């Protein structure tokens, strides 16, 4: 009897995916509620045929070289800036992510942040909890209207579109900026208007970021971008922390360059600067945009199905570098 391929899973993931993996493979799961260190990850991948990892694990040429038995890396996330896909391709290591199953859940949270920031929900909650609320006041906790406001979506991909659909319920005027216009049908359906990023920043009451982290999007929102925004505007980030220059954002929130922000992601997770933590006009969440029971279950299942498809000879449901298959067959 040939032995089953071996898989290292870098955290306990939802059962939907884990049980599929266990049915098909010899599975080892990192048992701790913290990411493995680089050294631990390298050690755990020794002799393993596959790695199922989270966005907290950096998978680069060095790791792949140190764990040469690994043939597929399945990221349990849609964002894959933690993976060096080019290094994977060079080494003939197939990589996958989990697109398509978390769009609505992430859009829900982007909207939750937008609403919380606009209407100062967290600040007001704090007042009530501290027992210092002295009663109804006509000047208390004045925020900004969401209905009929202008929403600027930066990156009209799957998640950006899901955010635009929610905006219709609030009769918002929707602008979007992207590398190219989405096409007439999409614009008509979403009632969204394509504009250059600078115009979007100038005209929007809410700016919501939905771009992947790449060289071109690193610090896309920097001090000069923030200066273009309205003083009454709010910035919402559920994409990746480094898309925003966090230091410039702190300055903008401190100086009143913009009114508020809702953040789910940070430049150096899980570290958050003390300056950001001290600001009242920012809502801070611990990178939970896709964290619903159902969605995290689906994400883990997609990752497992990619690994299963790989060992069945492919093709993968959601590959990042299908060309790595060719590299594999050329070297093996
Ligand atoms: C979460 O941030 C993801 O990329 O899935």
Residues 56 and 128 in one domain: no
Residues 204 and 96 in one domain: no
CA 192 remoteness from chain centre: 22
> How much distance in Å is there from the Cα of 289 to the middle of ligand 1?
8
Residues 10 and 28 in one domain: yes
Residues 223 and 305 in one domain: no
Residue 239: predicted pLDDT: 98
Containing domain of residue 180, as a range?
Answer: 103-284
Residues 272 and 325 in one domain: no
Peptide bond into 315 cis (omega under 30): yes
Residues 182 and 123 in one domain: yes
Q: Which of 11, 57, 74, 77 to mutate to test the pocket of ligand 1 (most atoms within 8 A of CB)?
A: 77
Tell me if 241 sits within 8 A of 268, measured CB to CB.
yes
Tell me if 280 sits within 8 A of 123, measured CB to CB.
yes
Residue with CA closest to ligand 1 atom 3: 77
Residue 327: predicted pLDDT: 78
| Nearest atom in ligand 1 to 98's CA | 5
Residue with CA closest to ligand 1 atom 1: 77
Residue 5: predicted pLDDT: 98
For the chain, how many helices (H) and strands (E)? 14, 12
| Nearest atom in ligand 1 to 238's CA | 2
Residues 149 and 261 in one domain: yes
Residues 136 and 64 in one domain: no
Task: Give me the DSSP letters along 225-243.
Answer: HHHHS-TT-EEEE-S-GGG
pTM of the complete model: 0.96
240 is catalytic: yes
Residue with CA closest to ligand 1 atom 4: 79
269 is catalytic: yes
Residues 223 and 267 in one domain: yes
> Mean pLDDT of residues grouped by 10 in the chain (332 residues)?
90 98 98 97 98 98 98 98 98 98 98 98 97 97 98 98 98 98 98 98 99 98 98 98 98 98 98 97 98 98 98 96 82 58
Q: Which of 11, 17, 78, 217 to mutate to test the pocket of ligand 1 (most atoms within 8 A of CB)?
A: 78
Cα separation of 251 and 281, whole Å?
12
| Nearest atom in ligand 1 to 79's CA | 4
Query: Which of the following is catalytic: 240, 296, 305, 328?
Result: 240
Residue 332: predicted pLDDT: 57
Residues 89 and 237 in one domain: no
CATH code at 211?
3.40.50.720
Residue 331: predicted pLDDT: 60
> How much distance in Å is there from the Cα of 99 to the middle of ligand 1?
9
Pocket of ligand 1 (CB under 6 A): 55, 77-79, 102, 290
- Number of domains present in the structure of the chain: 2
> How much distance in Å is there from the Cα of 132 to the middle of ligand 1?
38
User: How would you class 331 by CB atoms within 10 Å of its CB: exposed for 0-12, middle for 13-18, buried for 19 or more?
Assistant: exposed
């Amino acid at each position: 009897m040939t032995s089953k391929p071996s898989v290292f899973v870098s955290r306990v993931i939802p059962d939907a995916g884990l049980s599929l993996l266990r049915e098909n493979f010899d599975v080892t799961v990192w048992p701790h509620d913290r990411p493995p260190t680089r050294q631990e990850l390298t050690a755990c991948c020794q002799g393993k045929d596959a790695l199922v990892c989270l966005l907290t694990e950096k998978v680069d040429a060095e790791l792949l070289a140190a764990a040469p038995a690994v043939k597929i890396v399945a990221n349990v996330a849609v964002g894959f800036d933690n993976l060096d896909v080019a290094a994977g391709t060079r080494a003939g290591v197939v990589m996958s992510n989990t697109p398509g199953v978390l769009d609505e859940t992430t859009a829900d949270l982007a909207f939750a942040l937008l609403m919380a920031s606009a209407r100062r929900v967290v600040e007001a909650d704090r007042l009530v909890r501290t027992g210092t609320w002295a009663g109804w006041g006509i000047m208390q906790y004045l925020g900004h209207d969401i209905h009929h406001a202008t929403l600027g979506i930066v990156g009209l991909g799957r998640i950006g579109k899901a955010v635009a659909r929610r905006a219709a319920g609030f009769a918002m005027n929707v602008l979007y900026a992207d590398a190219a216009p989405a096409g007439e049908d999409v614009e008509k359906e979403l009632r969204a208007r394509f504009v250059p990023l600078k115009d979007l920043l100038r005209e929007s009451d809410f700016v919501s970021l939905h771009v992947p982290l790449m060289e071109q999007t690193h610090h896309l929102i920097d001090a000069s971008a923030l200066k273009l925004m309205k003083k009454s505007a709010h910035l919402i980030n559920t994409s990746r922390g480094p898309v925003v220059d966090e230091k410039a954002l702190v300055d903008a929130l401190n100086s009143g360059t913009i009114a508020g922000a809702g953040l789910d992601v940070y430049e150096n997770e899980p570290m958050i600067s003390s300056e950001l933590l001290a600001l009242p006009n920012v809502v801070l969440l611990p990178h939970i945009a896709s964290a619903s029971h159902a969605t995290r279950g689906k994400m883990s299942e997609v990752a497992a199905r990619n690994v299963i498809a790989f060992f069945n000879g492919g093709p993968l449901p959601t590959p990042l570098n299908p060309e790595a298959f060719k590299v594999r067959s050329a070297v093996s």
